[in-house]
């Protein structure tokens, strides 16, 4: 089985004490590739540094909506320079988050649109973060169309109507450990069968969103645990886990422009 954790934050300081061991646990779980996703300049720098050191790792650069009020053209220029590195395969995570409102809506929307423009000029796929935007993210995407736009909706938690619109736009859907959680994951589990198999991605969002049953033992999520997400999705869809893993591996490599045939040994 080949598994790709399409979204993690293993640049986080909580992984520093056992980083090598964490990668080894991922390898044992057949998680052979991981995408480290930046949320600001510092984490994007760190993601690229780690991806350069380990062949199983890739990087994405961007400014998260929480950090929008600290964004600037100078920061985006720096991220554009980082994006020239071959280990950078996406721009993100970017989007809108009206749940906690760590940045004002006006700032979030301005820098979201600006990053859309930059990523599309660079030809990079996008990683979208959306939470409680009440359709505003979709509205902005429709106001700024791009026929070449490729994207994944990270940690999808929207409605059936929103899911249908994302799929119509050609986007992939990222599924996290939420799908394994009994009460919180019920709405997502109901929608899982309606996601086309060639649009599915699995992700941890590590160190956050630890899946069941690991969340009963471990506070920190890590890439090895994405295996549980894949197995739960296969169970819900009544599909063979090995075949679904192959499909999701191909989906992830295709979205991010990575050769799916590479063994990607961990180093």
- To the question of whether residue 64 is assigned a binding role by annotation, the answer is no
Categorize the per-residue pLDDT at 267 as very low, low, confident or very high, splitting at 50, 70 and 90: very low
- To the question of whether residue 129 is assigned a binding role by annotation, the answer is yes
CA 263 to chain centre: 21
Averaged pLDDT, 31-49:
98
Question: From CA 16, how far away is CA 205, in angstroms rounded?
Answer: 17
Is the per-residue pLDDT at 29 higher than 90?
yes
Is the per-residue pLDDT at 168 higher than 80?
yes
- To the question of whether residue 7 is assigned a binding role by annotation, the answer is yes
- To the question of whether residue 93 is assigned a binding role by annotation, the answer is yes
Annotate 124-163 with three-state secondary structure.
CCEEEEEECCCCHHHHHHHHCCCCCCCEEECCCCCCHHHH
Q: Residues 244-253: pLDDT tens digits?
A: 999 999 999 9
Instruction: Share the mean pLDDT of the chain.
Output: 96
Task: Give all domains of the chain, ordered by start, each with its CATH number.
Answer: 3-15+27-256 (3.20.20.140)
């Amino acid at each position: 089985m080949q598994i790709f954790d399409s979204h993690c934050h293993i640049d986080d300081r909580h992984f520093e004490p056992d980083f090598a061991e964490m990668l080894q646990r991922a390898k044992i779980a057949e998680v052979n590739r991981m995408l480290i996703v930046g949320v600001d300049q510092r984490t994007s720098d760190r993601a690229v540094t780690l991806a350069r050191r380990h062949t199983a790792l890739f990087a994405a650069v961007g400014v998260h909506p929480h950090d929008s009020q600290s964004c600037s053209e100078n920061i985006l220029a720096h991220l554009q320079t980082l994006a020239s590195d071959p280990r950078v395969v996406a721009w993100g995570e970017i989007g809108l988050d009206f749940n906690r409102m760590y940045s004002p809506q006006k700032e979030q929307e301005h820098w979201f649109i600006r990053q859309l423009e930059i990523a599309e000029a660079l030809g990079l796929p996008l990683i979208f973060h959306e939470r409680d935007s009440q359709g505003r993210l979709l509205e902005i995407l429709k106001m700024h169309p791009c026929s070449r736009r490729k994207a994944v909706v990270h940690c999808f938690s929207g409605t059936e109507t929103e899911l249908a619109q994302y799929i119509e736009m050609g986007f992939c859907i990222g599924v996290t450990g939420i799908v394994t959680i009994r009460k919180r994951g019920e709405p997502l589990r109901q929608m899982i069968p309606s996601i086309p198999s060639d649009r599915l991605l699995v992700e941890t969002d590590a160190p956050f969103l630890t899946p069941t049953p690991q969340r009963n033992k471990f506070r920190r999520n890590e890439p090895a645990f994405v295996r549980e997400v894949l197995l739960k999705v296969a169970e819900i869809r009544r599909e063979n886990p090995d075949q679904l893993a192959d499909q999701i591996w191909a989906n992830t490599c295709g979205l991010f422009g990575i050769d799916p045939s590479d063994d990607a040994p961990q180093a």
